[in-house]
């Protein structure tokens, strides 16, 4: 009845008040003993010795009272009220997590589209601007990776710490770009290109020799191991950022198509892995996918593979409509409008025989398509199966140094390295594929 519930309520309030009063009494008791204890310690050495037993007694009483309070608290925590409070807090946390996830997704999508439109605007500006973009991204990425192992308290004692790191980076950049951009210089100033071409290797080697000597001279006693580790890290990052992206410049020279295609395949794979993982992650396959990236799932990986291969087959049909995209830089130098550009045979449709086992399923013995579509599918497979390991490698770095993102430069995405981790090896793969299967290099007649 209501009267019994009211009586229980009043009793509970009284008991709760008594508990609060007892807690205050316990606190006062503890504080009183603490005050006596500290006063006793300030007494003369003779009095201190006399009061040793008293102090021990006070400590014992303080500990006993603390145990009683902790025991009471333990019983309360095990009660239904505390469990109900915990459930409410968990529900609030889940709601906040969903809201936070939605905000992050919207921010990610918004700035994702901003990056895509900015990227397309730079591509539309021309080959030189795209090369400048690649170089700028390389600089930002090196900065992020160099900061990963930067320890200010050690770096300030090491002479020319930052100078040496950036010196090696720009030495590698000079070697790669001065060689790769000679084709561009020929179009701008043929005489200048001819005058510097014979000295390219000599200037690159001179920079290398100078950096080698400066690095050795900078070694300082007590910091040898730290400097060696930093030097090894610098060389690894230089290889990842500079020498892999050397192929990106060659891809741009071969035609904007060969730069835009691999970039788009990686972006497609990344997006599809995210959405497939969100929709089906850990529902079909419970076994963990990759310990380095616990948020990655088999469903996301397999779904991204299928969608990327479909995208890779269809996307070239869109790109080949623009002759400006499929023409090489050498062709565009002669005719910037691309009207007289000679179209490569991989962009011209051909008839392909369907295997007899699939004729009944397809309903035709031959199919007409572009050769570049098959090349694109192969690149799409690489973008799905191998390129993601660039992301896993980046995850390993972040886990090793206990960081969430490499930077906070792009809201919702992190740093440049967080977006470029798969692009490095993808650009390299495209360059190797182009010079092996599309336009093989001529064997040396030595």
Are 171 and 165 in contact, with CB atoms under 8 Å apart?
no
pLDDT-above-70 percentage for the chain: 93
pLDDT tens per residue across span 327-351: 988 888 787 777 778 889 999 999 9
Q: How confident is the model at residue 153 (pLDDT cuts 50, 70, 90)?
A: low
Matching residue, tokens 């336009």: 439
pLDDT at 33: 82
Number of Cβ within a 10 Å radius of residue 350: 13
pLDDT at 165: 92
**Pairwise pLDDT comparison (436 vs 358), residue with the higher score:** 436
Tokens of 326: 């499929």
Q: What is the pTM of this model?
A: 0.75
Are 155 and 162 in contact, with CB atoms under 8 Å apart?
yes
Highest mean pLDDT among 56-60, 223-227, 303-307, 401-405: 303-307
- Average pLDDT rounded to a whole number, residues 145-170: 82
**Alpha-carbon gap, residue 369 to 129, rounded angstroms:** 32
Are 384 and 308 in contact, with CB atoms under 8 Å apart?
yes
Assess whether pLDDT exceeds 90 at residue 431. Answer: yes
DSSP three-state, residue 59: helix
DSSP 116-164: HHHHHHHHHH-HHHHHHHHHHHHHHHHHHHHHHT--HHHHTTSTTHHHH
- Average pLDDT rounded to a whole number, residues 138-164: 83
**Pairwise pLDDT comparison (370 vs 199), residue with the higher score:** 370
**Alpha-carbon gap, residue 4 to 52, rounded angstroms:** 55
pLDDT tens per residue across span 6-39: 888 888 888 888 888 888 888 888 888 888 888 8
pLDDT at 308: 97
pLDDT at 238: 93
**Pairwise pLDDT comparison (164 vs 58), residue with the higher score:** 164
- Average pLDDT rounded to a whole number, residues 47-53: 78
Are 174 and 199 in contact, with CB atoms under 8 Å apart?
no
**Alpha-carbon gap, residue 295 to 398, rounded angstroms:** 14
Tokens of 161: 């710490």
Are 236 and 111 in contact, with CB atoms under 8 Å apart?
no
**Alpha-carbon gap, residue 329 to 345, rounded angstroms:** 17
Please name the residues in contact with 102: beta carbons below 8 A apart, sequence gap of 6 or more: none
pLDDT at 152: 60
Q: Mean pLDDT over all residues of the chain?
A: 86
CA triple 242-244-249, angle to 5 deg: 80
pLDDT at 389: 93
**Alpha-carbon gap, residue 215 to 227, rounded angstroms:** 9
pLDDT tens per residue across span 250-296: 999 999 999 999 999 999 999 999 889 988 888 888 888 888 788 88
């Amino acid at each position: 009845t209501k009267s019994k519930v009211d009586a229980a309520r009043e009793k509970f309030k009284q008991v709760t008040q008594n508990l609060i009063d007892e807690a205050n009494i316990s606190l006062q008791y503890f504080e009183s003993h603490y005050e006596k204890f500290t006063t006793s310690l300030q007494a003369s050495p003779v009095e201190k010795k006399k009061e040793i037993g008293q102090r021990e007694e006070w400590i014992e009483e303080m500990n006993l009272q603390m145990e009683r309070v902790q025991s009471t608290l333990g019983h309360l925590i095990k009660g239904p009220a505390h469990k109900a409070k915990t459930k409410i807090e968990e529900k609030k946390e889940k709601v906040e997590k969903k809201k936070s996830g939605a905000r992050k997704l919207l921010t990610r999508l918004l700035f994702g589209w901003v990056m895509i439109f900015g990227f397309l605007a730079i591509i539309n500006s021309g080959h030189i601007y795209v090369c400048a973009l690649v170089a700028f991204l390389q600089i930002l990425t090196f900065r992020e990776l160099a900061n990963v192992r930067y320890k200010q308290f050690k770096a300030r004692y090491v002479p020319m710490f930052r100078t040496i790191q950036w010196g090696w980076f720009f030495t590698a950049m000079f070697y790669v770009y001065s060689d790769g951009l000679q084709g561009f210089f020929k179009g701008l100033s043929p005489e200048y290109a001819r005058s510097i071409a014979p000295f390219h290797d000599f200037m690159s080697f001179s920079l290398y020799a100078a950096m080698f000597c400066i690095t050795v001279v900078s070694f300082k006693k007590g910091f040898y191991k730290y400097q060696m580790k930093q030097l090894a890290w610098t060389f690894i990052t230089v290889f990842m950022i500079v020498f892999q992206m050397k192929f990106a410049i060659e891809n741009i020279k071969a035609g904007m198509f060969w730069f835009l295609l691999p970039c788009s395949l990686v972006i497609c794979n990344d997006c599809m892995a995210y959405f497939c993982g969100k929709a089906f992650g850990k529902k079909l396959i419970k076994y963990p996918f990759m310990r380095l990236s616990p948020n990655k799932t088999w469903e996301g990986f397999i779904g991204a593979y299928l969608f990327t291969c479909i995208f890779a087959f269809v996307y070239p049909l869109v790109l080949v409509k623009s002759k400006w995209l499929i023409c090489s830089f050498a062709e565009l130098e002669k005719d910037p409008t691309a009207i007289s550009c000679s179209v490569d045979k991989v962009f011209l449709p051909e008839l392909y025989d369907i295997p007899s086992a699939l004729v009944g399923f397809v309903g035709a013995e031959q199919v007409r398509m572009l050769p570049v579509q098959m090349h694109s599918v192969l690149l799409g497979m690489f973008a799905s199966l191998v390129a993601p390991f660039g992301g896993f490698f980046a995850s390993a770095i972040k886990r090793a140094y206990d960081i969430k993102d490499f930077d906070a430069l792009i809201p919702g995405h992190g740093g440049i390295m967080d977006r470029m981790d798969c692009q490095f090896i993808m650009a390299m793969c495209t360059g190797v594929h182009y010079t092996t299967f599309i336009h093989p290099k001529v064997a040396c007649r030595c």
